[in-house]
């Protein structure tokens, strides 16, 4: 697996660069050595288990928390010494947030536009456009407290975009969203990145990020443990699932061909394999080309193969691999 240790020089074109960032709350070291580079025009996934320090790191990047040590550059600005300027370039959506309940969705966004000193003449069409973008146009003049959790989440996203930031920081943006909204969110973020925005998305729902992220940064116990591009993650050795109509035939062929296999989860691993019945096994392959090659061989051998697909998302596998390294 191609995992490069972090700490290599900062990319001058980077939207967000964090260098050896530490942040502790009393004795608790929430962020304990983060090195991160988020490219401009790309979506960077921030991945890690609960309590890995993702939220704290985003608070530092958003300019709400000062790092105990280390430096941060957001859109080329230091959120500590150039706080207000950096804030105007940064959009932040927290994982948990409230809304001003008695305000309508439109008023919420107009208030935020006021808070960013956007002239009303500019703000009005922008707010209307954003409400359309997050599919809240029909709720524009209803008070925010009637919105569902997912709708509030979308309103929160629109709020982070009101001032057209250069850097967008999203903390678990997909939580509470229905599948349709998740797809919309993915498309929206891809569009924003294509327009040159730097997008950082934290999540632990890895399947979400597979198609969304260009780069991935893994965090564990307050540290960045690895980072890689999605291309790297996809080409690295990972499990593929081979479905078959006859397990005994397939496993016999795999063993003959010297291909290491193991029972797929959910198919009663262990003693009763192989059976002459439908099932699946896992094989480790390095990327799609190898998969294609294997498929051709299996079809050539007239094996009763019904499917061949990655056993899990690229990020999930990379993440789990890291998790194992840590143990």
Partner 1 sequence: MKTRGAWAVSRQGIRTVTVLELRQRIRSTRWVIALVVWFLVVAAITGLTFAVFRSDLIGTDPTQPWIGRTIFGLVVFFVLFLGLLVSPTLSATAINGDRAAGTLATLQVTSLSAAEIVFGKLLASWIAALAFLAVSVPFILIAMSAGGTSAASVLSTLALLAVILAAVCAIGLGFSALTARTPASAVLTYIAVATLTVLSLIAFGLTVPAISSDDQVRLYDVSPAATWDQSGDQQCVWRTQTIRQVHTERTWWLLAINPFVVVADAMPESAIGSAGASAGDQDPMSIIRRGVREARTGPGNEQTRCWSSTQSGPAERPLNRSPVWPWGLAVNVLLGAIAVWFAVRRLRIPQRNLARGTRVA
Whichever of 40 and 159 has its CB closer to partner 1, that residue is 159
Whichever of 167 and 212 has its CB closer to partner 1, that residue is 167
How far apart are alpha carbons 301 and 1 in whole angstroms? 30
Whichever of 59 and 213 has its CB closer to partner 1, that residue is 59
Q: Is 248 in the site for partner 1 (CB under 8 A)?
A: no
Residues numbered 66-95 forming contacts with partner 1, rule: CB under 8 A: 66, 79-85, 87-88, 90, 92, 94
Whose tokens are 């305000």? That residue is 103
Q: Is 100 in the site for partner 1 (CB under 8 A)?
A: yes
CA angle 79/13/57 to nearest 5° reads 35
Query: What's the closest the beta carbon of residue 26 comes to partner 1, in angstroms?
Result: 8
How far apart are alpha carbons 64 and 72 in whole angstroms? 12
Per DSSP, 156 falls in state: H
Which of 40, 54, 159, 238: binder of partner 1 (CB under 8 A)?
159
- Of residues 90, 70, 92, 91, the one with CA closest to residue 82: 90
Give the Cβ contact number of residue 71 at 10 Å: 14
Number of residues that bind partner 1 (CB under 8 A): 39
Which of 5, 13, 20, 25: binder of partner 1 (CB under 8 A)?
25
Q: Which residues pair with 216 in a beta bridge?
A: 45, 228
Q: Is 154 in the site for partner 1 (CB under 8 A)?
A: no
Which of 19, 99, 229, 248: binder of partner 1 (CB under 8 A)?
99
How far apart are alpha carbons 68 and 62 in whole angstroms? 15
Query: What's the closest the beta carbon of residue 87 comes to partner 1, in angstroms?
Result: 6
Q: Are 35 and 225 in contact, with CB atoms under 8 Å apart?
A: no
How far apart are alpha carbons 187 and 167 in whole angstroms? 17
Q: Which stretch binds partner 1 (CB under 8 A): 101-109, 275-283, 285-293, 311-319?
A: 101-109
Instruction: List interacting residues with partner 1 (CB under 8 A).
Output: 25, 59-60, 62-66, 79-85, 87-88, 90, 92, 94, 96-103, 107, 111-112, 114-117, 143, 156, 159, 163
């Amino acid at each position: 697996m191609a995992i490069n240790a972090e700490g290599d020089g900062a990319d001058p074109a980077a939207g967000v660069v964090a260098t050896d960032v530490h942040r502790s709350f009393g004795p608790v070291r929430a962020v304990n050595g983060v090195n991160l580079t988020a490219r401009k025009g790309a979506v960077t996934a921030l991945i890690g288990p609960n309590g890995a320090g993702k939220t704290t790191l985003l608070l530092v990047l958003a300019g709400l928390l000062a790092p105990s040590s280390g430096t941060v550059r957001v859109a080329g600005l230091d959120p500590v010494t150039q706080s207000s300027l950096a804030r105007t370039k940064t959009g932040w959506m927290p994982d948990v947030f409230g809304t001003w309940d008695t305000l309508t969705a439109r008023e919420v966004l107009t208030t935020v536009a006021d808070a960013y000193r956007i002239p009303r003449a500019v703000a009005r069409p922008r707010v209307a456009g954003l409400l359309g973008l997050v599919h809240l146009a029909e709720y524009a003049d209803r008070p925010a407290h009637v919105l569902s959790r997912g709708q509030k989440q979308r309103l929160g996203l629109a709020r982070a975009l009101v001032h057209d930031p250069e850097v967008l920081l999203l903390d678990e943006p997909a939580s509470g969203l229905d599948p349709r909204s998740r797809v919309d969110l993915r498309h929206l973020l891809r569009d924003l990145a294509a327009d040159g925005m730097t997008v950082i998305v934290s999540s632990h729902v890895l399947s979400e990020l597979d198609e969304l992220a260009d780069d991935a940064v893994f965090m564990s116990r307050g540290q960045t443990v690895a980072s890689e591009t999605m291309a790297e993650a996809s080409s690295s050795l990972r499990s593929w699932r081979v479905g078959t109509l006859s397990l005994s035939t397939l496993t016999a062929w795999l063993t003959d061909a010297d291909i290491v296999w193991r029972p797929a989860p959910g198919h009663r691993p262990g003693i009763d394999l192989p059976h002459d019945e439908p099932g699946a096994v896992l094989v480790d392959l390095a990327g799609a080309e190898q998969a294609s090659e294997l498929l051709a061989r299996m079809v050539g051998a007239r094996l009763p193969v019904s499917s061949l697909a990655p056993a899990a998302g690229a990020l999930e596998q990379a993440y789990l691999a890291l998790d194992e390294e840590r143990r």
